[in-house]
Chains A and B, each alone.
Chain A
Amino acid sequence: MQKSLHIDPSKCTGCLQCEMACSYENYGVFNISRSRIKVFNFEHEGRKVPYTCTQCAEAWCMNACPVDAIRIDAATGAKVVHEDACVGCKVCTIACPFGTVNYVADTGKVQKCDLCGGDPACATACPTAAITYVDADWTGLDKMRQWAGKTDTQPRASA
């Protein structure tokens, strides 16, 4: 069964535990500037939105990579950057429509979410369940259910 990161911005408080967990998991340091998930703060709307790679099925980044450095992890479906192959050409960062593959000047490579091998640290660290790791086939169904609940709210006349 494949799983996806599911993000519900309405639950995000902006604590950045996810960013710290990401940097710790991948680099062994608390360093939000190295996080592959980012929380954006839309201050004047009072909204905070965590954002990261959605692991497109037909991944633009993977298709664009000229050296085959981005490959699918068969177990998780994650599109994973193999740093030993990456040449830092940044074509993937241009190809990605969502901006979720990022170049890191220090290493000369790109980085992106790899779902931590199937146990995403961001989801574990999130204190409000704004980030969860769910059955991929269920993506969107929560929202669908929410809207379903809003339909037909008129009280019924009894027969």
Chain B
Amino acid sequence: MGWTRKILRVDLSKGTCKSEPLNMEWAQQYLGQRGLATKYFVEEVDPKVDPLAPANKLIMATGPLTGTMASTGGRYSVITKGALTGAIACSNSGGYIGAELKMAGWDMIIFEGKSPKPVYLWIQDDVAELRDAAHLWGKTTWDTEEIIKSSHHDPQVRVCSIGRAGENGVLYACIVNDLHRAAGRSGVGAVMGSKNLKAVAVRGTVGVSGIRDFKAFMTATTAAKKVLADNAVTGQGLPKFGTQVLMNVINEMGALPTRNAKDVQFEGARKISGEAMHEKRLSDGKANLITNAACFGCTIACGRISQVDKNHWSVVNNPKYWGATGGLEYEAAWSLGAADGVDDLDALTVANMICNEDGFDPITFGATVGAVMELYSMGVLTKEQIGIESPFGSAQALLEITRMTAEGRGFGKEMGLGSARLTAKYGHPELSMSVKGQEFPAYDPRGIQGMGLTYATSNRGACHLRSYTVASEVLGIPVKTDPLVTEGKPALVMAFQDATAAFDSSGTCIFTTFAWSLVDLAPQIDAACDGGWSVERLAELGERIWNMERVFNNAAGFTAKDDDLPARLKTEPAKTGPAKGLVSGIDKMVPEYYQLRGWNKAGVPDKETLARLGL
């Protein structure tokens, strides 16, 4: 059990919704969410498919612990071929909609084809139907959610939707749920938009009863919650400061990519840090942070709820942004802040709100602004082309470019390409801080070497959430490793990648892994699901998923040369801080990583490796 054993297949071209039994053989091999949905995806979709073509599919999937009392058991993932990357995409989100989908009785939804006109999917328990979304097209995610709730006369409906970014083909558009949670990366929202699918609205009243052994499950989840509560990171640091607990720490390490990674330390870091969010503003005597917030089932509660000064220049005539809403997480504070040299906390908060409101990934967006600011400083892009003077550090430029991107206006259309395509268009592809077309986030591989290998080998393009070796290299979890060396990192990255794939397939949040290992996860899954789930089985599951994703990417056309970092990180040494003089040692790490993975020198899994994993 653990699964509802039911999936919903939505053919957008024909306008049909059909229930199918879950493939239980695959569930035993791939568990749920990321693993199981990717299995369905690779079985059903040609790896060469154009991500924005009707033949691409998009899957929304829950895990066996989604909708249960397991801490953080509210996650769902969106699996498709990424619009930004052309690689397998898997974007994970919290909030409440994942649990609602499970409580309506569904393990996953597979969307295929393309609707001839804008529609949204309405699910009320076992009833699922496509409804006209003409009145929602052109609306923000915030308005869409409100209109749907009000038209169904039910405030308890949960909604995920695309904003104007997803409609306008911004290649890093995301799918936003519960106002400020998002399946954020790789452009899953652009794929949804290409299918004329505006939103999914769910009301679930069936509940989750398919737990193999309720008594064992309550014992296991209660014990695991205590582990989270007793841990300094998940019990104290994250609730108080959110992921923003890292801003000052990473800056001091000399690993905060600044001004499009020209620098590794940002002089304005303190002003945009988690600590600064707690401090009272000089202007109105109030703090940026209102409170922390949890996603469904989460006993950590790292989420930020913020409110900006009503008289801040960015919102002074715009009451829409005066209320409390989702605040800055570390990655967004970095991408909108340090990556662009901007240190105005309220301006960053507003830019982040607009990313939520119109649904685009602040990491890729902010990093692309950084590349644009560098092109501007070189004279390649001008004020006339962009529409505003755009030197590094300009909060005004950041806000105006954010609005243009949200509305698909002027230079915003070019912003929607992401940094790889945009810099190539203007003759400077080397200025895109990306891997496989996706921008890397807030950890500089010159100062945290393991993250270089993490970015280079991530199956969804550069990303911190595929193997967060920061845990080990910075925080000492599970053991402290030296961030400045490459030795031992290939094995570390591999272990993190496999464990993360297991967590991503369970329905729980990866942030639990500051305190949990597979030893904590296994008893919870085993109590929920048939089949005997041990630590070893979960580790192997992770490795199987990783290789399955790799095989898909290889078939999609990716090769070993795509497992690399931007030249800047390999040739321009860190100028300041503990990593001063260092570049990324990526070239030393990749061959060893391939060997450990059981892949050949071209990065292709050996036949023996695939056979061992049952692929």
Contact = CB atoms under 8 A, between A and B. Distances in A.
Q: Does B associate with A? A: yes
Interface of A: 10, 13-17, 20-21, 23-24, 27-34, 43-48, 125, 127-128
Contact of A45 (B71, B207, B296, B323): B323
B324 A44 contact: yes
Contacts of B156: 33
Contact of B325 (A14, A20, A29, A43): A43
Contacts of A32: 99, 103, 207
Contact of B298 (A13, A29, A46): A13
Interface residues of B, number: 38
Contact of B297 (A10, A20, A33, A44): A20
Interface of B: 67-69, 71, 96, 99, 103, 156, 179, 204-209, 211, 214, 218, 225, 229, 239, 290-299, 301, 303, 305, 307, 323-325
A17 B208 contact: no
Nearest to A127: B299
A24 B294 CA distance: 20
Q: Would you call the interface of chain B mostly helix, strand, loop, or mixed?
A: loop
Contact of A44 (B69, B299, B323): B323
A40 to B, nearest CB: 9
Given A15-B297, A45-B324, A33 B205 contact: yes
Contacts of A21: 69
- Scoring B209, B225, B307 by chain A CB atoms within 10 A of each residue's CB, the highest score goes to B209
B103 A46 contact: no
A16 B296 CA distance: 6
Given A13-B298, A44-B324, A29 B292 contact: no
Contact of A13 (B69, B218, B290, B293): B293
Given A43-B324, A43-B325, A13 B294 contact: yes
A13 B291 CA distance: 8
Contact of A31 (B207, B294, B324): B207
Contacts of B303: 13
Contacts of A125: 69
Contacts of B299: 15, 17, 127
Contacts of B225: 127
A16 B297 contact: yes
B323 A30 contact: no
Contacts of A24: 69, 214, 218
A14 B293 contact: yes
5 contacts: A10-B291, A15-B295, A15-B301, A31-B208, A33-B204
B294 A15 contact: yes
Given A14-B293, A17-B297, A127 B205 contact: no
A30 B290 contact: no
Contacts of B307: 46
A28 B209 contact: yes
A10 B305 CA distance: 13
Given A33-B204, A43-B325, A15 B68 contact: no
A44 B179 CA distance: 11
A23 B301 CA distance: 22
Given A15-B296, A44-B325, A46-B291, 16 more contacts: A13-B293, A15-B295, A15-B297, A15-B298, A15-B299, A16-B297, A20-B68, A20-B297, A24-B69, A24-B214, A31-B205, A33-B207, A43-B325, A47-B291, A48-B293, A128-B301
List of 9 A-B pairs having minimum Cβ-Cβ separation, nearest first: A31-B207, A44-B323, A46-B324, A46-B290, A15-B294, A13-B294, A13-B301, A127-B299, A33-B205
B243 to A, nearest CB: 16
